[in-house]
Amino acid sequence: MAAESIITTITDGTTDLTFYRLSMTGYSSRWGWSGNTTSLRLFLDFQHDVSPLGTLKSDVHNMTLRREEINSTTGKLAVSTISLQAKVPKDSVISSADVENDISAVMALMNKTFTNGFLSGIVLSGDYNVTGPFNPARA
């Protein structure tokens, strides 16, 4: 039986990263990059807080990519995290199609131009409406 994996593409549009499941407990799981070394490690963490049916609470879903890298000069560990949280009320006013459209709208912003501005502390206005599947390599 093959190990479960998640494959994603980085910004060059051609390089895939493969993550394999390391652990799973309840509604949480951790996935490690197949290229992890002692000086560079990537992890994907998923955590779900699911409310009981019939309640008016919200389900909360978290996904975090964690990069751990050792500075070759100082030997110090540097850590970056990129997280996405979806909080969805059990109330039927917001449909699963609404949530899918909202996620798609956020993903459409995640291109090189928008991300560079965002990480510089600004939000660039513009048309980010791109047809076709999500591709992080587009600018």
Domain boundaries, the chain: 5-92, 95-133
The candidate with the shortest Cα–Cα distance to 86, out of 113, 111, 107, is 107
* pTM summary value: 0.81
Q: Which residue has the tokens 């390089």?
A: 15
The candidate with the shortest Cα–Cα distance to 67, out of 19, 12, 112, 106, is 19
Angle at 64 between CA 110 and CA 21, to 5 degrees: 120
Domain 5-92, what fold? Porin (2.40.160)
Report the SS3 class of residue 61.
strand
Cα distance between residue 53 and residue 132, in whole Å: 35
* Mean pLDDT, residues 1-22: 83
pLDDT tens per residue, range 24-75 = 999 999 999 999 999 999 999 999 999 887 778 899 999 999 999 999 999 9
